[in-house]
Amino acid sequence: MDLRDSYKNATRSIAGARMRSFLTMLGIIIGIAAVILLMAVGEGSKRDILGQIQGSGSGNLYLTPGAQSSILSGRNSTTRDIGAKITMDDLKAIEARVTYPIVVSPANTIGITVKRGSTTMVGSGIFGTETYFEVNNLTIESGRPIVASDVSNRTRNVVIGANVRTTLFPDVSPIGQLIRINGMSFKVVGVTASKGQSLFGNSDNAVILPLTVGEKSFGMQHDRISLTTIKSVNPNDSGAIVNQIASILERKHGKVDFSILDQKALTSLFSSTLSIFTALLAALGGLSLVVGGIGIMNIMLVSVSERTREIGIRKALGARERDILAQFLIESSLLSGIGGIIGVVFSVLVANLVIQRFLPTYVTTSSVLLAVGFSIAVGIFFGVYPARKAARLRPVEALRYE
Amino acid sequence: MELIQLTDLRKIYTIGGVTIEALAGVSLDIGAQEFVAIMGPSGSGKSTLMHILGCLDSPTSGRYMFKGRDVSSLRSDELAAVRNQDMGFVFQAYNLLSQMSALENVMLPLSYATKPVRDGRRKAEGLLEHVGLKDRMKNRPVEMSGGEQQRVAIARSLMMDPSIILADEPTGNLNSKGAREVIDILKALHKEGKTIIYVTHDDNIGAQAERVIRIRDGLVVADEGD
């Protein structure tokens, strides 16, 4: 039997049971959509986060206590290095001994409640120094930044983020006004320009306080710096700077109880983590595709038993086992292939028109090819058993079937 | 040389632990261009004999020589090729594919042809014309009477120019007019030189043949020529 005949037979059989064919395809459509959409969300987040790393300032190095990349866990130190810490003394040593031009910016972050009058909002309190703004590409929209004297004098002056300003001061200038942070009174001296979400949080929802105030008013140890950003003035120096800092701290601490990540390391770290995340999402989608495949197998088994007599007739007229096998395999792969194409069109539309509004999505060509290839493979794999069952029917028994 | 030579043919089924001997040692010869009726009560083994003759089933033991070739032990694909080239089947229940037109049904054996057939479509149209269905080619089986469907089936059986037409109770589902038409067509085909073997339990239909083979309990009990 030539392929054109087989194809015609298969389309006729699929069209002959429209509702059933559609429902069978629906399993594949949903499976394909799950694979493509989940991968699009995974890929979109990956690109978004990597974009934030790129935007966080090129040539920045991140120094954290603990021998592992504690930036990822968001905690000050890993459980393994509970005693590990980076102190102001360490940072002074780094500033003194690194032979390339650098800017060092220590910071500790806690969750805070900010209140003005009857308005309250939750944000983050960043305890930093005068270098925080330069290193993090933050610009001052009005007023002034935190300056060195604020840090040395432990003044209760703060700079607020753009969202904090619009929430607490919708109609008056905040400069010189008092706000209450965790119940204590502080004076607003400046407002930062909006920057949006970045790798280490959203500076628009933050209040920046002098590093030394943390120890005085919030019971923090200012000698435990959870995240130090070190800006290399010439981005090309960063590799050499990492090595210098590492040897300075290793000599000082007597062991490697710290992590230094540069932008490249951070990119590859996030990139590989996020790729695993995307692969997991794809596997999740793949599971539903397998469920769709089982649906195809189920309906093909029904089809084989419904058409036992037809198989008998075809065999009486000279159909060989491979002719019957091909007929049912073409039918099952056509079901899954059409389902796959509908699924691709549907999910590309949904990804770009709907989900894009809430989440960063990015549909890659490889995810589309993977999904379509997998769907056809599913159609063939789950079609083999019913098709073999049909092909092996004995002609006499098939003809006798009512 | 005889077209068909059966030697001590046996067919034994086991259904649910019960062994049934459908054919208990049948030996007979059928020559080319014969017009044979196989008759017997239900359960006599006549359908089993028909299935084996048509290569739809294999004997448990014994030998079946078809055109001088032992077909009793062929593989399923080889049997399929024999059915396609040499056997034209007509069934009691017509066995047309419901989703296809009369013409497509007649052309169906072409899909499985192991040798190329030229002008298959024109040939199928000619066959339908020959059985008096020139105006019904595009109709599907549900739109036809039983007699018309059986004539489509006869046209289909002729598509590959088979050595034999095998008809299993070809008039069993038809009224007397339809049965008459079918028998007339079979007779006409016989006159044209076709070998025709049909199974029936109806004495009047059986009497139309030139040779009647009677089967009972899996054995040939009578073999009468005109």
Q: Has residue A283 been placed in a domain? A: yes
H or E element, residue A126: strand A119-128
A291 in the same domain as A171:
no
Query: Residue A317 is nearest to which of B51, B76, B112, comparing CB atoms?
Result: B112
C-alpha dist (Å) from residue B33 to A123, B81, B175, B196, B209: 100, 22, 28, 7, 12
A300 in the same domain as A375:
yes
H or E element, residue B226: none
CA atoms B39, B42, B45, B48: torsion sign: positive
B17: phi > 0 → left, psi -120 to 50 → alpha, else beta; which? Answer: left
Phi, psi of B215 (to 5 degrees): -115, 140
| Residue range(s) defining the domain that contains residue A32 | 3-51+269-400
pLDDT of residue A58: 65
Query: What are the per-10-residue average pLDDT scores of chain B (226 residues)?
Result: 91 89 94 95 91 94 94 91 95 93 95 86 95 94 94 96 94 92 94 94 91 95 85
Q: Has residue A326 been placed in a domain? A: yes
User: pLDDT confidence of A234, banded at 50, 70, 90?
Assistant: confident
A178 in the same domain as A288:
no
A280 in the same domain as A350:
yes
A274 in the same domain as A214:
no
Q: Could A314 and B108 be called an inter-chain contact, meaning their C-beta atoms sit closer than 8 Å?
A: yes
Task: Determine the residue type at A305.
Answer: S
User: pLDDT confidence of A114, banded at 50, 70, 90?
Assistant: very high
∠ CA(A287), CA(A291), CA(A293), 5° rounding?
A: 110
What percent of chain A has a predicted confidence (pLDDT) above 70? 94
A383 in the same domain as A286:
yes
Asked if the model's pLDDT at residue A138 lies above 90, the reply is: no
SS3 (DSSP) at B71: coil
Identify the bridge partners of residue B224 per DSSP, sorted by sequence position.
B212
pLDDT of residue A57: 63
Residue B185 token pair: 């067509």
H or E element, residue A289: helix A263-306
A283 in the same domain as A339:
yes
Sequence-distant (6+) residues with CB within 8 A of B125 are B103, B137
B67: phi > 0 → left, psi -120 to 50 → alpha, else beta; which? Answer: left
Q: Has residue A253 been placed in a domain? A: no
A 10 A CB-CB count for A177 gives 15
Highest mean pLDDT among A60-74, A264-278, A356-370: A356-370
Q: Has residue A351 been placed in a domain? A: yes
CA-nearest residue of chain A to B47?
A396
- Asked if A327 contacts A10 with a C-beta cutoff of 8 angstroms, the reply is yes
> To the nearest whole angstrom, how far is the Cα of B134 from the nearest Cα of chain A?
23
Q: Looking at A233, A261, A277, which one is the last position of a domain?
A: A233
Q: Could B97 and A310 be called an inter-chain contact, meaning their C-beta atoms sit closer than 8 Å?
A: yes
CB contacts of B76 in chain A (<8 Å) are: 320-321
Alpha-helix runs per DSSP H in chain B: 46-53, 76-86, 102-111, 120-130, 146-157, 176-191, 203-206
C-alpha dist (Å) from residue A335 to A3, A27, A286, A387, B109: 16, 10, 17, 14, 26
Q: Has residue A187 been placed in a domain? A: yes
Residue A380 token pair: 């063939």
Domains in chain B, CATH or no CATH each: 4-225 (3.40.50.300)
- Asked if A245 contacts A63 with a C-beta cutoff of 8 angstroms, the reply is yes
Interface of B with A (CB under 8 A): 51, 54, 56-57, 76-77, 80-81, 83-85, 87, 89, 91, 95-97, 99, 108-109, 111-114, 156, 160
Q: Has residue A65 been placed in a domain? A: no
Interface residue of B112, B152, B156 to substitute, partner A, most A CBs within 10 Å: B112
Query: Residue B80 is nearest to which of A13, A312, A319, comparing CB atoms?
Result: A319
Query: Residue B99 is nearest to which of A12, A318, A396, comparing CB atoms?
Result: A12
Tell me what the mean pLDDT of segment A297-306 comes to.
Answer: 90
CA-nearest residue of chain B to A15?
B99
pTM over 0.80: no
Q: Looking at A205, A233, A261, which one is the last position of a domain?
A: A233
What percent of chain A has a predicted confidence (pLDDT) above 90? 35
Total domains, chain A: 2
SS3 (DSSP) at A250: helix
HSE-CB for B104 with a 13 A CA cutoff = 15
A363 in the same domain as A278:
yes
Length of chain B: 226
What is the DSSP-derived secondary structure letter of residue A194?
A: P
Residue A160 token pair: 């607020």
A219 in the same domain as A107:
yes
- Asked if A28 contacts A340 with a C-beta cutoff of 8 angstroms, the reply is yes
Q: Could B112 and A313 be called an inter-chain contact, meaning their C-beta atoms sit closer than 8 Å?
A: no
Q: Has residue A145 been placed in a domain? A: yes
Q: Looking at A233, A256, A291, which one is the last position of a domain?
A: A233
Angle between the N-to-C axes of helices A321-353 and A365-391, in degrees from 0 to 180, rounded to the nearest 10: 150
CB contacts of A319 in chain B (<8 Å) are: 80, 111-112
Q: Has residue A299 been placed in a domain? A: yes
Q: Tell how strand A157-160 and strand A206-210 pair up.
A: antiparallel
Q: Could B111 and A1 be called an inter-chain contact, meaning their C-beta atoms sit closer than 8 Å?
A: yes
Length of chain A: 402
